[in-house]
Amino acid sequence: MNVKGFAIRSATAVATTGSIAVSALLAGSAWPARAQDGIDGLQAIGKPVPDGINFQPAVTDVARDIVWLDNFLLIVISVISLLVIGLLVVVAIRYNSWSNPTPARFTHNTPLEITWTVVPIIILLVIIPPSLSLLFKQMRIPDADLTIKATGNQWYWTHEYVDHGFEFDSFMLERGQLAEYGYADDEFLLAVDNAVVVPVNRTVVVQVTASDVIHAWTIPAFGVKQDAVPGRLTELWFRVDQEGVYFGQCSELCGKDHSYMPIVVKVVGDDVYEHWLDRMIAEYAEIPRQPGTLTLASD
């Protein structure tokens, strides 16, 4: 673990101790738990739900397009599957050896062969435009309002705010720590001590890499997933239009604790983000923030 990461961990430990003392004082009261990063009142939007089988709520254009494309392809593939099953049933009933004792002896049917070649081509031509346009939308990285570098480690993430010269490690919380950090009980295995915080309606570019083996950074509700490969810097982007807490998990088998390195992104208003950023910079940045410094490229 690097020195800055250690500084944050130490600070967290101190803050945690303080919080336990406060909790003890408030024991029995109905006060909600205060998150360690000072960001409260956010709804957890992007997280798995019991018995859920569909996508998480889509909160970026890319995620909405993914859901649309998935539904569209589901219709196409359902029609194809029903047609093939129907044909198999017809063949099995009508052309079995009992109902059709004298088999026909022809081997070719030109109109039929042209049909089963042309129809799949038409289907592919219909599928290609929405698929490729979505792929280009994901892969063309726009100008960033905020750039974050995410480094996968065995088994935690390091998030660096490259424009502001600070970074922190994000470790999964133990079950007993959830309330202290403002998380619900069912967010065990998803919640981390230091969440990534980004402003709402801003373009965020995440540079993804790894320090040891291949990991993958993803937030399903944003429609982003990118392998983190040692020695390579890849990028993804998102622009979230709904404030809230969003969860993701490392999505590349990376060793024994692969399932214990989740990702949390808190999407907040500009004011809350600026306040959080000031606090982080004051505490952890190598370069102090200058008065009047622009923090977002689009401002």
User: Can you give the binding site for Cu ion, defined by CB under 5 A?
Assistant: 215, 250, 254
- Between 64 and 258, CB nearer to Cu ion: 258
Tell which residue, 207, 200, 194, 196, has the closest CA to residue 147. 207
- Between 250 and 264, CB nearer to Cu ion: 250
Q: Which position has the token pair 């088994």?
A: 155
Q: How far is the CB of 219 from Cu ion (least distance, A)?
A: 15
Per-residue exposure over 129-147, b if at least 16 CB sit within 10 Å of its own CB, e if not = eeeeebeeebeeeeebbbb
- Between 138 and 170, CB nearer to Cu ion: 170
Q: How far is the CB of 209 from Cu ion (least distance, A)?
A: 12
Q: How far is the CB of 254 from Cu ion (least distance, A)?
A: 3
- Between 197 and 254, CB nearer to Cu ion: 254
For 15, 156, 165, 277, the CA distances from 288, given in Å and listed in that order, are: 22, 27, 9, 11
Q: How far is the CB of 133 from Cu ion (least distance, A)?
A: 31
- Between 16 and 211, CB nearer to Cu ion: 211
What's the CA angle centered on 158, arms 297 and 5, to 5 degrees? Answer: 105
Q: How far is the CB of 213 from Cu ion (least distance, A)?
A: 7
Q: How far is the CB of 264 from Cu ion (least distance, A)?
A: 15
Q: How far apart are CA 234 and CA 136, in angstroms?
A: 15
- Between 19 and 226, CB nearer to Cu ion: 226
